[in-house]
Structure formats: C-alpha cells, structure tokens
Amino acid sequence: MAGKDDILTRPAIDGALAELPDWRYRLGGLVTVYKCPTSAAALELIAAVGRIAEQQNHHPDLDWRYNRVFVRYTSHDAGSEVTQRDVRAASEAAQAAAEAGAVAEPGLYRTVEVGIDTTDPEEISDVWRVALGYRKGRSGDLEDPYGRGPNVWFQATETPNPNRIHLDVHRSQAESEPTIEKTAATGALMDRDHAPKWVVVTDSQGNRLCLCTEAGHEPNL
C-alpha cells in the first residue's frame, strides 16, 4: 500500500517516462491509448493488463473502444498521485501491448475538466458534489468516483467571467501544438500568455475553453 512518501516528484516521473515512450503524465496519473489490430486483440490486451493488475494488486482505469484500449494508472491510496507502482505497471502493460501487436497512440488520450469561476468555492462546491454524486478530489476539485464523468474544479476569483463555466481540455505537451494551431485557424481568439501550461480560447460569442498540458501540474507533495 502506497502513502504520501511514495509519491514521485515531477523530475522522477519525467525520468521514468523517458524509458516509457508509450506513456504520458496527466493530472496525477500515467495515461496512454493502444490501438490493436482487431477488436478481439484489444480484448486480449485488456485480459493481459487485468492479469498484470491482479499479480501486482494495482488496478488501472480501462476503457475499450473497438480496437483501442485507453489506460490510466494512478495510486489512489497515495492521494491519486503517481508512485513507482504505476511506473512498474505501465512498463509491464507496454510489454503486453507490444506482444499483442498494439501501437501506442498516447496523443488520443485527452482529459476534460469543467471549470467554474466563483468568488467563494466553498459556498457552492457541495451543490455540485451532491448533485453529481461526486467526491472531493486531489486538489480540492470534484471527481467522479467511477472515473466516468469530467472533474469539476472551482476557479477562485474576485472578478468572475460573465460566462462562468468553461472547459479545460488536457492533452500532452508533445501532442498539443497541432490542436492549438487548428483551433486558431477556426478564428477563435487565442490567449497564449500562459503557454505551454494552457492557452485560453474564446469563441465569437465569448465562450471560453482552455487547451492545457502537463506543464506546471506538479504532484501534490
């Protein structure tokens, strides 16, 4: 069982990922997508990852979409952060994927959060938590205990935007630039002041979203 002392620092995570080219860091977890030759091969890969999970007593979040398998490892008992167990499991899963003839497509793994501008997060967070059936997350945000819905976080500000709700779309920095350029080509207003951490996108009607990367998202040590 992992604890706070087992949480890896970002330099340690980056060092581990240098040996795990299939994987990316994302909001307290290691993520990837494997494209298998067939849907049957995808099921076989899921079974192989399941066997690894049982052997290690460390279970990932899995999502099967025809011939693609979306995988995320995090250590929930360490506050939903990355530990050496996640690195070890990701390494073995990568080996199983290679044996199954799967190709890694980590750029397909995107994470969406809902951000809400508010002058007082505590005043409203319980409304959202109860209504959604969520729980408190790793950074004071709200998370689906079953990992199905997007996280909700509250942006404390004395000057809330007229459109208080926006989306944060998280991609890996390695794959983010093409999406940023394609979004800019739609005519949206692009605020790059905080790049590469995030780029604020505003459409012609004033609605916002942020294109985010792992830059600046440090483990909660």
- Map out the domains of the chain as residue ranges: 4-108, 111-212
Reference 28, options 69, 75, 84, 63; nearest CA is: 75
Terminal CA-CA length for the chain: 17
b or e along 54-87 (b: 16 or more beta carbons within 10 Å of the residue's beta carbon)? eeeebebebeeeebbbbbbbbbeebbbbbbebbb
What tokens does 148 get? 């199905």
Reference 212, options 179, 189, 164; nearest CA is: 179
Cβ–Cβ < 8 Å for 96, 45: yes
Task: Identify the sign of the CA torsion 90, 78, 126, 209.
Answer: negative
Q: Is 4-108's fold the same as 111-212's?
A: no
Helix ranges (DSSP H) in 57-153: 84-99, 121-132
Tell me the whole-structure pTM to 2 decimals. 0.90
Cα distance between residue 60 and residue 52, in whole Å: 10
pLDDT for the residue 221 = 47
Cβ–Cβ < 8 Å for 201, 209: yes
As its CATH architecture, domain 4-108 has 2-Layer Sandwich (3.30)
Low-confidence ranges of the chain (pLDDT < 50): 221
pLDDT for the residue 1 = 67
pLDDT for the residue 144 = 95
Check: CATH 3.30.420.40 for 111-212?
A: no
